[in-house]
Each structure stands twice: as structure tokens, then as C-alpha cells.
Amino acid sequence: MTEQQYGYFDDQHKEYVITSPFTPTPWINYLGNDGFYGLISNTAGGYCFYRDPKFRRLLRYRYNNVPADQGGRYFYLKSADTVWSAAGRPVQTELDHYECRHGLGYSRFIAKKAQIRSELTCFVPLGQTAEVYRLELTNLDAVSRQVSLFSLLEWCLWNAEDDGANFQRNLSTGEVEVDGNVIYHKTEYRERRNHYAFYGVNHPIRGFDTDRDSFLGPYRGFDRPLAVERGQAGNSLAHGWSPVASHHIDLQLQAGQSQTLVFVLGYVELPNDQKWAAPGVINKAPAKDLLTRYDSAQKCQAELDRLQQYWLSQLNKFQIETPDKRFDRSLNIWNQYQNMVTFNLSRSASFYESGIGRGMGFRDSNQDTIGFAHMVPDKVRERILDLSATQKKDGSAYHQYQPLTKKGNANIGGNFNDDPMWMVLSTVNYIKESGDFSILEARVGFDDEPGDFTHFEHLKRAFEHVVNHLGPHGLPLIGRADWNDCLNLNCFSEDPNESYQTTQRGASDVAESLMIAGQFVLYGNEFVALCRHTGRTELAAWAQQQVDNMVEAVNQHGWDGQWFLRAFDARGRKIGSAENDEGKIFIESQGFCVMAGIGLGDGRARQALDAVSERLACEHGIMLQQPAFSGYDKYLGEISSYPPGYKENAGIFCHNNPWIIIGESMLGRGDQAYEYFARISPAFLQEKQRLHKTEPYVYSQMIAGRDAATPGQAKNSWLTGTAAWCFYTASQYLAGIRPDYEGLRIDPCIPARWPGFKAQRTFRQALYEIEVRNPQGLSKGRVELEVDGEAIEGNLIPYARFGGRHRIVATLRTAD
């Protein structure tokens, strides 16, 4: 029995096509590129914001609502007595045809009802602070028809947290202006805000509404507004309560006639001395300018073309063609697209992150760069230096910083001891991609010691932070937690209203992490290599010694017999050991120790990964640990607070599955690596849409594990480090196209059944057309390299000059 399907990939248009408004959860897309972002569901629900989803939110959205997904860009259509929504909801009228096409930076909604076809295209033009909605209406009937159209947006009163809490104030503050076809939202503009929003249309209107209750009618939902039922707007002016923006337009469409309208939802900031045109009258000039840019269907199309060109040029930096279409569409389109979205929004605003609580994560943002550095390396450089500036002088990091201020967020806490070393990864990956060693000399102060330091100094402090925080076994102290936020070995919480991330008991001198140990060896070796590359030989030697000591400590104390231990707790007891009744084996230390090369020479790496395969892998992916914790243990913390099979308590945390995949690729086990990849990669899961629940075109943070009541059910889609890690893994370790300081390395690890594959890769402004041949049916092998027809030694294509275009043939051969 096949499960119900809700959509499919349209690779030609680089779109995912959703065929039902009733997806298991709202399936969303992101609009915007440069500070102005919108979240848009498959029925046009969602909101947008400028730079900060908490403090500059334009539209009101209701998380966790009933019905789901309330608030968005709504267009009500009415012909005769039939009322429907151009995007399939909120009106519940069944459509004759519905289609949502999530594309790269735009979403398109096609509906047919009552012989009227509508096509709504929503996008943020490049570099613009506006969402544009192009709505084309076509009369499919043989006779002329009248159509009434009502737009509707609901304004958020800018501060999204306050908007949902401080009713005593904000029911009295809402203010609007209406000028012709344009509705201006100016709440708090009278005081300290120097920004307003507007909603305009390039067509005369018959009426408008700005007061929600007037438009909807008492106790009605978005699904049946009174004004639409009545066929007439109320021309209401909002004073407090809930301001909205609705245009009412009546159209007469001849048989077969199409008409296109363009709506613009824009955001304007003005210097204080230019806020007003007259006392109490806002300066509308910038809004009018902006409206003029999109006041015809033609101008709109030109902007859409520009947007598409932008995305094509980004995606073209890496394209692959293998025997597996699913692998290709994943890497070529959706994974890269998700990488950019994740990089831009860094966990701060999704349908699972409300945009209020979270800033930019230090470790998250560093990791996100590894999926994105090949696309816009300049932005990565900027991000790394932003992160660097929030580091403290002892090398430690705030766990998060605020996007508006770029300052570390003291409320969220720090002391996660894996944080610092992620900056080594991001920097090294950036330099290898770009060749830009100058980032090391960039001047960056510390959060608690402003001044003239090099970014290299920051990396050194990061490295030293680990060295200076070793525990009794010579292993790194875990601090508040390591990558696994929920493994809280130093916080013995008994108060259910206490957050594990902010409680003041965050460190001991005892609890140690094998995950950080592996991470230190892996990125410590990278640090050593970087020192050598930049002539810091003395430092390199010292650092090498520290890394060697760590390897020794892992070998002495970190091996449990069949796999790597996970940690020592605050009482010195083993975590992730065969000794434990529950949580005998964890994924993170297996992944990081093997990636670091520990045990590669003596079979322990293979043994550890075999244990993973035997004990942690299930049909939906690799679980975080096993067996699940059956009850709460205050010495373990939040991990044991989840029901078994969910989240960190033996859920499949997709973020760390790639670590095992990279490990497998280092062992040359390409079939196993590929199989793991396929279990969590959305393009491979199309048969499971209903079970999986979340968007089947992007990664989710977590898939419920074997112990759960609902194994295979995913949660927390889009903004997850999984995307960056999966792209990094698949492109650099499976396809094996791996930037290095001196050039591009080709070192694939693929399913043995593949006869080969092709790829194109832009690397430092040169284009490489790569063909990998696998005549012997290998997963991994010695690579014979031919560059522009010429055989070269080794697997490294040397750096090529700007604008070059090179043809590479790489043939896998058995080692002998």
C-alpha cells in the first residue's frame, strides 16, 4: 500500500510541487536574501521581517494555533456566491485545482474555482525590503464574469514578543494611514520607531479595511470574513486593537481574459529628521518610489528573472550528475538552497523557531558556513569575523549573539566547551575554499577585551581554551554541555521551570567529553596545518604536542572495548559505556574520534563504526544513543527528560549522522556511507511523506527513533545544521570533491555499483568539469587524475587561475 502523497519534485523548474493544501504540517519556503526575509507556507501563511524576527516583524503570525498556520498573505476571491482563497486556505472551499510551487526564493500558488484561474507568485526582489505578490486572474469561462478580490494582511506591532504578551499596551497603540491604494502601518512611528510598512496595489480600489474586527466580523476567523461575505469593504480605520490591511477590488473579466495585479508589502526606514511630511503625516516618498518599481506585470517578471538568474549562478557553483537522480536533486538544488537559508537565518526563524527567543548560535553559525562557503565566500568571511568579535579573551564564546547588535547574549549563557573549536573548522574551510589567508590577519577585538587582535589570535585562543580546560583524564572538560546541549553533566536540576541552558551550575572540574576530545584532535590537526602553512612553526610544534597528548588520553581512557566512551560525568563515572544500563553507546564520540583518525590504524575505528551499525542504526537513520533513557536522571540532565525515541533521548539527530558517514568514507565503505545518507536525505524519503510529516525537500533536525511511539516522524525542519553537514559530507566525502589549501582534491567514496559520475565545480573563480570513472566497481580507490587531458600525480588538482575552465577525469583504481 502506498502512502498518500502530497507533492513531488519538478527538477526542470527547480521547484517542489505541493498538490494539497492539507499537508501533514505546513510545508514552507523562504523568501528574501539580504536582511529582509519571509517565511511562506504552502497556503501562503507566515510572516516577514527585516533583519530581526523579534524586533522588526511586519506580519502577525500565530504559532501553535488551531487551525494551524494562521496569518499570512491572503487573497479572497469571490465570484457569484462562491468565495475561495488564491492559495488554498484560509477559506476552506474545495478548489477545482490547487498547486503550490515552492521555488528558489519564490512561491507560486495556482488555483482554479468557478471558472476562474488564479496564479499568485510571491517573492522578495533581490536586495529589496519588500515582498511582491503578482496575482494573475483568468476567466476560463465562455462568458464575462465579475470577480471580487480582497487582499488581507495582519500587522504585527513590530516587537513580536511584546505583540503576543503586552496587551495592556498594544491594544491601544495601533495606527494606520490610508492614501489612495496604499495602506500604511505606522504603529509606534509616532514615537521611537523610524520605520513603517505599507501595502499597495497597482490598481484602483473600491474600498479598504484596516481594522481586523471590521473586516472579519465578530468572532469570525480568517476563513470567512464578513466583508467578503457582504462583498463590500468597510473602509475602516484602525485605532488600536488589531490593525490589518485589506484592499477591495472588483474586476470584470471577459471570456478568456487575464488580468494581472501586483501587490507590494514594503518596509521603509528613514532618518529621524525625514520621518514626517507634515505633523502627524508620514513621509511616503520612499514607499512610492518602491511601489513604482513593481507597478506592472512586466517589471515584476524582470525582477523574477533576475532572481532566478541569481539562484542559478549560485547553484551552478556545484552541480553533479550521478546514476541516482535523488542524490543529484538533493545536492544540486534543495540541499544548497537550504544551506543558504540556514546560513542566513541561523536557527532564528522557522515554523519551529518562533523568532523570539534565539539569536545566532556561535557553534551553529560556524558550522553553517561549511555548507555555504562555496556559494558566497564573502558573506562567510563577514560572518566568521562577526562571530570572532563575540569571543571572549579566554577563548570561550557566548552561546548566541543578537543579529541586530552583533553582541553576545548574556541571558542565554555560555560555557559550552565545544563552542570555540568550531571557529577553527569554519575558518579553515573558508580559506581552503577561497584561498583567502588574509582573514587570519583581520583585526578583531574580544568581547571583553576590545583591541587590535588578529583573527588568527582568536583561533589560537580557541585552541588554548581546550588545552586550559582539561579534566582528570587529560580529556576536555565538557562545561555546561558540548555539541549535545541536552547532555547536562554539571547541572543537577530539580526545578521544572529552570532552563538547563541558563542555570548557574554549569561547570565542574571533573566531567569530560570524548566528543570534544575528538573534535580537538580533528580541528587541532587543522590548526597545526594552518600554523605550518603560515610559517608559525614553533606554535605548530607546540600545538601538535597538545593534539598528540589528546590522542594519547583518548587511547588511554576513552576506549570502552568496542566503541568510544561518550563522557565522564561530574562524579567521574563513565557515560556511553557497556557498563551503563542505558545510554551504553553514543553517536557523537564515534563520529568525532573516527573523523579525527583515532583508531584508524588499529581497527578500533572500524570496530566503533560497526558498533554504530549494529546498535544505533535503524531504518530511519542513526539514533543518538542506545538504549534510550527510561526515566529522568538529574546527573544526565535534559537528555533524559524526553520520552524515549524523541530528540536527544535516542532520537535520530540528523546533524550528527554525517559524522558517521564521513567516518565510513574514511574506512572506504561507500555502500554503507551511501545507505546512511539515503536514510535521512529528503529526496530519498518521498514514499514516506505522511509518516515523515515535515517538508520532503529539506532536512529536519530530528526523526523519531526506534523507541518512539512514532518512529520515522520528523520535527524541526529547515534551520538545522544537518543541511550544511550533509552537503559538506556528500560533496566533499562521497563525491569527494574537496577544497584544500593548494587546490581541489578528488577523493570519492561511492556505492560500488556506480560506474562513475560527473560534476561541475566553481572553485576560486575557475570552473572544473569533473568526470569520475569507476571501471572496477570500487567504493574508494587510488585516484588517477587527468587535468585537461594531462595525467598528474596524486589526487589534487592544483589551483587554477581566474576564469579558467578545466576538464578533469578521475579514475578510481585499486590500490595496487
Rounded alpha-carbon distances, angstroms, from residue 454 to 266, 445, 506 = 40, 8, 30
Rounded least distance, CB 706 to a second copy, Å: 14
Binding mask 205-244 for a second copy (x = CB under 8 A): -------x---x-xxxxxx-------------x-xx-x--
Within 417-523, strands assigned E span 512-513
User: Coil, helix or strand for 522?
Assistant: helix
Within 661-773, strands assigned E span 700-703, 714-717, 737-740, 743-746, 756-763, 766-773
How far is Cα 77 from Cα 577, in angstroms, rounded to an integer? 62
Asked whether position 316 contacts a second copy by CB under 8 A, the answer is no
Question: How many CB atoms are located within 10 Å of the residue 801 CB?
Answer: 8
Please, which residue, 101 or 186, has the CB nearer to a second copy? 186
Rounded least distance, CB 583 to a second copy, Å: 15
From the number of C-beta atoms within 10 Å of its C-beta (0-12, 13-18, 19+), residue 161 rates as middle
Rounded least distance, CB 87 to a second copy, Å: 13
Do 154 and 70 contact (CB within 8 A), yes or no? Answer: no
Backbone angles phi, psi at 8, to 5 degrees: -155, 160
Please, which residue, 471 or 651, has the CB nearer to a second copy? 651
Among 626, 716, 722, 779, binds a second copy (CB under 8 A): 716
How far is Cα 51 from Cα 31, in angstroms, rounded to an integer? 13
How large is the greatest C-alpha to C-alpha distance in the chain, in angstroms?
85
Rounded least distance, CB 272 to a second copy, Å: 9
| Residues 596-635 within binding reach of a second copy (CB under 8 A) | 630-632
How far is Cα 760 from Cα 773, in angstroms, rounded to an integer? 15
Binding mask 633-672 for a second copy (x = CB under 8 A): -------xxxx--xx---x---------------------
Please, which residue, 218 or 535, has the CB nearer to a second copy? 218
Q: Is 788 a residue of the active site?
A: no
How far is Cα 482 from Cα 399, in angstroms, rounded to an integer? 11
How far is Cα 442 from Cα 444, in angstroms, rounded to an integer? 6
Rounded least distance, CB 166 to a second copy, Å: 7
Question: How many CB atoms are located within 10 Å of the residue 206 CB?
Answer: 16
Rounded least distance, CB 219 to a second copy, Å: 5
Please, which residue, 144 or 166, has the CB nearer to a second copy? 166
* Binding span for a second copy by CB under 8 A among 61-69, 74-82, 359-367, 438-446: 61-69
Grid cell digits, residue 479: 562545561
Binding mask 343-362 for a second copy (x = CB under 8 A): ---------xxx-xx-----
How far is Cα 208 from Cα 210, in angstroms, rounded to an integer? 7
| Residues 185-204 within binding reach of a second copy (CB under 8 A) | 188, 190-193
* Binding span for a second copy by CB under 8 A among 130-138, 330-338, 492-500, 571-579: 492-500
Rounded least distance, CB 448 to a second copy, Å: 19
Q: Of residues 52, 163, 419, 485, which has the active-site annotation?
A: 485
Place of cell 573563480: 765
User: Coil, helix or strand for 693?
Assistant: coil
Rounded least distance, CB 59 to a second copy, Å: 13
| Residues 143-162 within binding reach of a second copy (CB under 8 A) | 154, 158-159
| Residues 676-715 within binding reach of a second copy (CB under 8 A) | 701-702, 708-710, 715
User: Coil, helix or strand for 262?
Assistant: strand
* Binding span for a second copy by CB under 8 A among 67-75, 98-106, 368-376, 777-785: 67-75
Angle, to 10 degrees, between the axis of helix 657-667 and the axis of helix 670-680?
160
Binding mask 16-55 for a second copy (x = CB under 8 A): -----xx-x------------------------------x
Rounded least distance, CB 495 to a second copy, Å: 6
How far is Cα 497 from Cα 499, in angstroms, rounded to an integer? 7
Please, which residue, 121 or 170, has the CB nearer to a second copy? 170
Please, which residue, 69 or 560, has the CB nearer to a second copy? 69
DSSP-derived pairing of the beta strands 652-653 and 700-703: antiparallel
Cis-peptide, bond into residue 67, ω within 30° of zero = yes
From the number of C-beta atoms within 10 Å of its C-beta (0-12, 13-18, 19+), residue 450 rates as exposed
Binding mask 74-93 for a second copy (x = CB under 8 A): ---------------x--x-
* Binding span for a second copy by CB under 8 A among 115-123, 170-178, 453-461, 808-816: 170-178
Among 127, 204, 256, 280, binds a second copy (CB under 8 A): 280
Catalytically active residues, by annotation: 485
